[in-house]
Structure 1
Amino acid sequence: MKLDRFDRQLLNLVQEDAGRTSEDLAQRVALSPSAVQRRLRKLKEAGVITRHTAVLEPRKVGRPTFFIVSLEIERDRPELLTQLRAWLAAQEHVQQAFYVTGEADFVLVVTAPDTETYDALMARLATENPNVRKFTTNVALGVVKRGLTIPVPLEEMD
């Protein structure tokens, strides 16, 4: 799907706040509310917008602690990687999981109400995934920035 300037503006605006009304978006991008709705529907159908989500304050819902985990595996066998990816994707405490280059094979962002919950998760990880060689944990002491926004340039880049 080729994105024009209106699409790019809308993508930036809905990433900032997906709860904005069509009327508000229309006013900001100089289109009609129905044109905004059509464009957003097309962006969703094309897979550009994959879902709408709410960003919560972790402390207010009992998830005050973030753990950044570097995970190393024993072997790069496809079936073992598939199993580990599925396991990670199924864990509610694993907020994000990245397959990466460098010393670690995966980097995880885990949120839990306390260290006991985190320790139990990591014990299950090691027990249920024998391909995991080791993991290193960093505890986030504070949050400087948290988000999933992807900056969309208003003009097409070559």
Structure 2
Amino acid sequence: MDLDRIDRKLLIAVQRNNRLTTEELGELAGLSATACQRRLKRLRDEGVIEADVAIVSPAAVGRPMMMLTFIGLERDRADIIDRFKQAIRRTPEIMSAYYVTGEADFVLAISVRDMVEYEAFTRRFFYEHPDIKGFKTMVVMDRIKATLALPIDE
């Protein structure tokens, strides 16, 4: 899909604040509220906007700890990779996951209440998957930036 200047302005604005009204977005983009609404619908329908989300404070919901975990799989086979991707999608503690190149096969961001919960998670998720060769975990000490916003040239 080709994005024009107005589409880009709308995308920049909704990434910063998805609670803006179509009237406010229209003012920013130089459109009527109705035209703005049509463009946003098209951007959603065509998959440019994948989701409208809120960034929630982990501490506010009792999940103050985050782990970044590097996973190595036993073998590089499509069925093993696909099976592991499905397991990741079914696991709510995994906030984001990436299939990567380099020393690890996957990098996961995992949300937990405390080390006891993380230890239980590792037993359930890592140790019960026979295709996992190993994993390394880093504990996040401070969340510096939390965004899903992509840089978009206007």
SS of the aligned residue for 1:128 comes to coil
User: Hey, what does 2:75 align to over in structure 1?
Assistant: 75
User: Hey, what does 2:119 align to over in structure 1?
Assistant: 119
Tell me if 1:100 matches 2:66.
no
C-alpha displacement at 1:127, in angstroms? 3.2
Determine the C-alpha separation between the residues in 1 that align with 2:66 and 2:85: 20
Determine the C-alpha separation between the residues in 1 that align with 2:33 and 2:126: 51
Determine the C-alpha separation between the residues in 1 that align with 2:143 and 2:127: 31
Gaps of 5+ in 1: none
User: Hey, what does 2:36 align to over in structure 1?
Assistant: 36
User: Hey, what does 1:131 align to over in structure 2?
Assistant: 131
Determine the C-alpha separation between the residues in 1 that align with 2:16 and 2:120: 35
SS of the aligned residue for 2:23 comes to helix
C-alpha displacement at 1:79, in angstroms? 1.0
Determine the C-alpha separation between the residues in 2 that align with 1:129 and 1:44: 36
Residue identity (%): 37
SS of the aligned residue for 1:54 comes to coil
C-alpha displacement at 1:128, in angstroms? 2.8
Q: Which runs of 4+ in 1 moved over 3 A?
A: none
Counting matched residue pairs gives 154
Determine the C-alpha separation between the residues in 2 that align with 1:124 and 1:85: 16
TM-score, normalising length from structure 2? 0.96
Determine the C-alpha separation between the residues in 1 that align with 2:88 and 2:121: 10
C-alpha displacement at 1:120, in angstroms? 1.1
Determine the C-alpha separation between the residues in 1 that align with 2:30 and 2:18: 18
C-alpha displacement at 1:39, in angstroms? 0.3
